[in-house]
Amino acid sequence: MAFLMKSMLSNQVKNLGLGGGGEENKEESTPSDPAAAAGMTREEYEEYQKQVVEEKMERDAAFAQKKAERACLRVHLREKYRLPKSELDENQIQMAGDDVGLPEDLQKMVAEDQVEEEDKDSILGQLQSIQNMDMDAIKEKAQATFTEMKQAAEQKCSVM
């Protein structure tokens, strides 16, 4: 309770202007020049600010480049799987200057995938996939399906 009273009274006294002198002294002691506040000369401070701005621009450019590379990858995947195009991805690629390509690692992966797909799509690839099938399992499954259909037909048809 005493704390509450003390804080209320001190706030009222500060509002009247009787106890607010301490804060004004603190403000007057801090320099208004940011270079002096940082402990540098004016020229050093300006050079520091230029470096900060240049570093920020470099980071932003690198970020935009990565963002465009990701958008390029998404566009490539959309084309590959015949998905609808995205305006946002195309805009990001254009903002990066249209000189964006897939990263080298992804280009290698895409090339390997294309070779595998071409092999699967060829006649030889189809023949190899037929050879790899388990013919016994397919034969058993076909016979089971045939017997199920025959039983269903016998139950429905009185002639059989």
83-97 mean pLDDT: 85
In this structure, are 87 and 132 located in the same domain? Answer: no
In this structure, are 95 and 108 located in the same domain? Answer: no
73: pLDDT confidence band, cut at 50, 70 and 90?
confident
What are 29-61's pLDDT values in tens digits?
A: 556 777 777 788 888 889 999 999 999 999 998
Locate all alpha helices (DSSP H) within the chain, ordered by sequence: 2-16, 21-29, 34-38, 42-80, 87-95, 104-121, 123-131, 135-156
Considering the domain boundaries, does residue 2 fall inside one? no
CB-CB contact of 72 with 98 (8 Å): no
In this structure, are 45 and 71 located in the same domain? Answer: yes
**What is the reported pLDDT for 39?**
80
Considering the domain boundaries, does residue 17 fall inside one? no
Considering the domain boundaries, does residue 50 fall inside one? yes
Residue 110's domain comprises: 102-137
Considering the domain boundaries, does residue 150 fall inside one? no
Please, what's the largest Cα pairwise distance for the chain?
113
Q: Is 102 helix (H, G, I), strand (E, B) or coil?
A: coil
State how many domains the chain has.
Answer: 2
In this structure, are 114 and 79 located in the same domain? Answer: no
Considering the domain boundaries, does residue 123 fall inside one? yes
pTM tops 0.85, yes or no: no
In this structure, are 65 and 107 located in the same domain? Answer: no
In terms of C-beta density within 10 A (0-12 exposed, 13-18 middle, 19 or more buried), how is residue 92 classed?
buried
